[in-house]
Amino acid sequence: MSDNRIYRTRSLGIPAAGLKDQYSDGTAAHLWELYIGDKSQRTAVYRKFITDQLKARNCITVLDVACGTGIDSVMLLEEGFRLTSVDLSDKMLKYALKTRWKRRKEPAFDAWEIEEANWMTLTEDIYGEEQFDAVICLGNSFAHLPNKELDFANQRLALSNFCAMVKPGGVLLIDHKNYDDILERGTSPTHNIYYNGEHLESIITSVVVTEGTPVLVTLDYVIKLDGDKDLRDDTDSERAKRGRLQKVTQNKFRLSCFPHRLDSFTSLLKETFGPEAQHSVYGDFQPLGHIPSPVFYIHLIEKPAR
Q: Is 153 annotated as a binding residue?
A: no
What are the residues facing 297 on neighbouring strands? 176, 283
Cα-flanking dihedrals φ and ψ of residue 281, to 5°?
A: -125, 140
Residues ≥6 apart with Cβ < 8 Å to 96: 67, 68, 69, 70, 73, 74, 85, 87, 114
Contact 173, 50 (CB under 8 A): yes
| Rounded Cα gap, residues 136 and 46, in angstroms | 14
**What letters, b where the CB count within 10 A reaches 16 and e where it falls short, cover 32-47?**
bbbbbbeeeebeeebe
| Rounded Cα gap, residues 133 and 71, in angstroms | 20
Q: Is 54 annotated as a binding residue?
A: no
What are the residues facing 214 on neighbouring strands? 209
Q: Is 118 annotated as a binding residue?
A: yes
Residues flagged as binding site for S-adenosyl-L-methionine? 23, 32, 42, 66, 87, 118-119, 138
Annotated binding site: 23, 32, 42, 66, 87, 118-119, 138
